[in-house]
A and B are shown apart, each in its own frame.
Chain A
């Protein structure tokens, strides 16, 4: 319900909602519990929003970002001001969607875009915390956590982008209209090469 955007091209929205739900649950019950060095964990939800925005464009990016953010704000262990993630992910989704329209299809560009999105999202979230005077987002903590988190995000991002592309393609295969201009056409060819190696994750 919270994740379901308006059902115009239903399959696409459903698949986006499903991807986000899976990312959210994986985030809180797996990723956040990994005892990684530094006590920081990659932000799978942010990466998923960025990937969805790159595939589907700014409109879906903004709506998906808002919904995912709102869900991340109210999913049980959350204890921050409601609306912070919704704001941040919405902006990031929109900006990444805009960027995808003008993006070159060269092979490495999407990865840089995801890294940039992760950096912007993490910094923006820390900024909202500072604006609200959240003691958890004090400068000493933020300055230690943000670089490490961006590093983890960049490390994880290829897997997320690959998974999102793969799932969104599978769900779209049935009702595929005229081919979409951006990433979803350009990249699966090379991502398919990766998918041959590992079992579907």
Chain B
């Protein structure tokens, strides 16, 4: 290559720009001046990603079909149920306010938890070490920062950035994610932390780690966790199922006790999720955990197929 002097000048200039950007963004933290750049990125690439997601969805489905062949039937059934439920909920939102209120109350009494949700699809996923995904809903659909994201199975993560038509979700498995959690059947609380991208921990089966604040509190394998709920219900609303205890660290003498959690949500295959845009009126406690059979619907809801309230039973309970 000729003219290396000019090349070196350009290289030096670009590297200097990159270093300045890293410095500014790192020191600025959450309100760095470069956040605007991310806004530009969301505005420019958001529509492209949405378009490409609709094109490449069949490709992903084919790949899933190959890798997940044994799980395929169960998955299809589950998705069908989920679809039905989400369709109900989306329809509920589109109806006028009074009917929406009615249906909302019905949903609440049915024990679904009373969250008001916006359904969304995952359209892209983060690169490198971060565990983030993009949803196809944004500020135009009423999504804001620090809202809880859940799927029919349980907690997915929280919204960290919102564009006009896209939103970025920090998954619960990311190392920087911290969620307050409560053990079922007890008042013991703890902190659930992610263990790395797509749950590197233990072959991906236990991508979450629970630190129970009371080191002497009883805890057993198989016990399940729901979110504790943050102050002001943001970023996490209470009562969302997280997962079940898979193994407990036996080390003694620490201030906290550590357990490894198998989440209800399969983080590597996220597709249809919901953003909780309004928290429940009251803490649903353990109503959303999959095992106990839901109370029968006492309402004439316009349902065609089997009641959407029958949630999939948890395989390992």
Tell me the A residues contacting B by CB distance below 8 Å.
1-2, 21, 24-30, 32-35, 38-41, 43, 45, 57-59, 62-63, 66, 69-87, 90-91, 94, 97-98, 101, 125-126, 128-129, 132, 134-138, 140-142, 144-145
The verdict on A29 contacting B53 (CB below 8 Å), with A35-B269, A77-B124, A82-B34 known, is yes
Q: Across the interface, which residues of B come within 8 angstroms of A144, CB to CB?
A: 200
Pick from B6, B38, B129, B166: contact of A137, CB below 8 A.
B129
**Once the chains bind, are A39 and B166 in contact (CB under 8 Å)?**
no
Contacts of B25 in A (CB 8 A): 81-83
Q: A82-B34, A144-B200 known; 20 other A-B pairs, CB under 8 Å?
A: A2-B44, A29-B52, A29-B56, A29-B123, A38-B200, A39-B204, A43-B128, A59-B10, A69-B18, A74-B40, A76-B134, A77-B132, A78-B126, A79-B161, A86-B14, A125-B128, A129-B129, A136-B176, A136-B196, A141-B200
Chain A nearest CB: distance from B64 CB in Å?
7
Q: A33-B124, A136-B174 are in contact. Are A76 and B21 (CB under 8 A)?
A: no
Closest A residue to B271 by CB, please name it. Answer: A33
Decide: A66 near B175, CB < 8 A? Known: A125-B128, A141-B197. no
Q: Are A141 and B175 in contact (CB under 8 A)?
A: yes
B124 and A28 form a contact (CB under 8 A) = yes
Q: List 5 A-B contacts (CB under 8 A).
A: A25-B48, A62-B14, A76-B166, A82-B21, A136-B176
**Alpha-carbon distance between A155 and B115 when the two chains are bound, in angstroms:** 45
Chain B residues within 8 Å of A98, by CB: 1
**Docked-complex contact B41 and A39, CB < 8 angstroms:** no
**Do B7 and A62 touch (CB < 8 A)?**
yes
List chain A residues, Cβ under 8 A from B7.
Answer: 58-59, 62, 94
* Nearest Cβ on chain A to B11's Cβ, whole angstroms: 5
Q: State the CA gap A58–B8 with chains docked (Å).
A: 9
How many Å lie between the Cα of A86 and that of B128 in the bound state?
13
B67 lies within 8 A of chain A by Cβ: yes
Residue of B nearest to A129 (CB): B129
Known contacts A32-B124, A77-B125; A128/B14 CB under 8 A:
no
- Chain B contact residues (Cβ within 8 angstroms of A): what range? 35 or more
Q: Which chain A residues lie closer than 8 Å to B175 at the CB level?
A: 135-136, 138, 141
| Chain A residue at minimal CB-CB distance from B42 | A76
Main secondary structure on chain A at its contact with chain B?
Answer: helix
Chain B 270-293 interface residues, beta-carbon cutoff 8 Å to A: none
A45 to B160 CA separation, bound complex (whole angstroms): 24
Q: Is the CB of B168 within 8 A of A77?
A: yes
Most A CB within 10 A of own CB, among B4, B7, B170, B199:
B7
Please report the C-alpha to C-alpha distance between residue A74 and residue B49 in the assembled complex, in whole angstroms. 13
Closest to B167 in A: A76
CB-CB under 8 A from B10, the residues of chain A are 59, 62-63
B252 contacts partner chain A, Cβ-Cβ < 8 Å:
no
Q: Which of B38, B48, B64 contacts A35 (CB 8 A)?
A: B64
In the complex, chain B residues whose CB is within 8 Å of the CB of A43: 127-128
B22 on interface, CB distance cutoff 8 Å:
yes
Closest B residue, CB atoms, query A25: B52
Inter-chain contact A81/B26, CB cutoff 8 Å: yes
CB distance from B196 to the nearest CB of A (A): 4
Mark interface residues in B30-67 (1 if CB within 8 Å of A CB, else 0). Answer: 00101001101110111011001100100110011001
Cα(A72)–Cα(B49), bound, Å: 13
Complex-state Cα separation, A30 to B127, whole angstroms? 11
State whether A28 touches B127 (Cβ < 8 A): yes
Please tell me if B189 contacts chain A, counting CB pairs below 8 Å: no
Asked if B133 is an interface residue, CB under 8 A from chain A, the answer is yes
Given the complex of chains A and B, what is the CA–CA distance between A58 and B1 in angstroms?
7
Question: How many angstroms between the C-alpha atoms of A39 and B194 in the bound complex?
Answer: 14
Question: Are A136's CB and B18's CB within 8 A?
Answer: no
Q: Does B92 contact A (CB under 8 A)?
A: no
A30 proximity list for chain B (CB < 8 A): 52, 56, 59-60
Q: Are A39 and B130 in contact (CB under 8 A)?
A: no
* Minimal beta-carbon separation of B127 from chain A (angstroms): 6
A78 in contact with B132 (CB, 8 Å): yes
Interface string of B13-29 (1 = CB under 8 A from A): 01101111110011000
B163 at interface by CB-CB < 8 Å: yes
Q: Do residues B64 and A59 form an inter-chain contact, with CB atoms below 8 A?
A: no
The answer on a CB contact under 8 Å between B160 and A79 is yes
Nearest chain A CB to B38 CB, angstrom units? 5
Also in contact, A74 and B37, with CB within 8 A (given A34-B63, A62-B7, A132-B26): yes
Which B195-253 residues sit within 8 Å CB-CB of chain A?
196-200, 204
B41 A80 Cβ-Cβ under 8 A: no
A21 CA / B7 CA spacing, docked (Å): 23
